[in-house]
Chains A and B, each alone.
Chain A
């Protein structure tokens, strides 16, 4: 995965906490910076896609590995 500016480990957290924590973390970044999110909630994949679509932040990539979900999100 590409470089990132901040990491958020939302492992073990369930809906809607990964989204709420990501929103908070993005607020501390400036436009163009990238947040790396780690989550274990399988619902997070669809939720982060929906979050990106509605907030304008770009979901650069996401992958699943060993039961964990990894996301890179660029702040709009």
Chain B
């Protein structure tokens, strides 16, 4: 059985959208895939040493709410922090792994993570902001791996 390859582009930097790339990458690695994830734009937040990922219902009418709430109320100061802590509590109670835990499992399973150098520069971020063991590269770096991949996802 030759090794299959999974390539993922992670572009989102919110708590909820941190899950698909890390869940798919870690699971694919467990199934024997060779995996590379390219983090660009807001996806870079997922590579921060101490990621402070938040969740918001703003612009996301699909988010289940404990009670109906007008959008203007959802925009009040403190709401985002409250929603984030509620989401984290719910995840913990349902046995859902934390983002850091899944990321650690990806690293352990040799999932290759590449930070987009252009967006690192664009947002004035420094390599010291990110976890160790990742690579930095551009679009051509992504295609070098993705061009040979069996599955390629944009998240």
Contacts and interface: CB of A to CB of B under 8 A. Distances in A.
Contacts of A15: 23
A12 B95 contact: yes
Nearest to B94: A14
A41 B31 contact: no
Given A41-B95, A56-B1, A16 B23 contact: yes
B96 A14 contact: yes
A23 to B, nearest CB: 4
A1 interface: no
A20 B95 contact: no
Contacts of B26: 16, 20
A60 interface: no
B58 interface: no
Nearest to A51: B31
A23 B30 contact: yes
Contact of B30 (A13, A19, A41, A56): A19
Interface size class of A (residues with CB under 8 A): 10 to 19
Nearest to A15: B23
A54 B31 contact: yes
Interface centre among B30, B31, B96, B97 (most CB of A within 10 A): B30
B32 A55 contact: yes
B27 interface: yes
A56 B30 CA distance: 12
A40 B26 CA distance: 20
A54 B32 contact: yes
Interface in A20-57: 20, 23, 40-41, 51, 54-56
Interface of B: 1, 23, 26-27, 30-32, 94-97, 105
Given A14-B94, A40-B95, A51-B31, 13 more contacts: A12-B95, A14-B96, A16-B26, A16-B30, A17-B95, A20-B26, A20-B27, A23-B30, A54-B31, A54-B32, A55-B31, A55-B32, A56-B1
* Shortest 4 CB-CB contacts between residues of A and residues of B: A23-B30, A14-B95, A16-B27, A12-B95
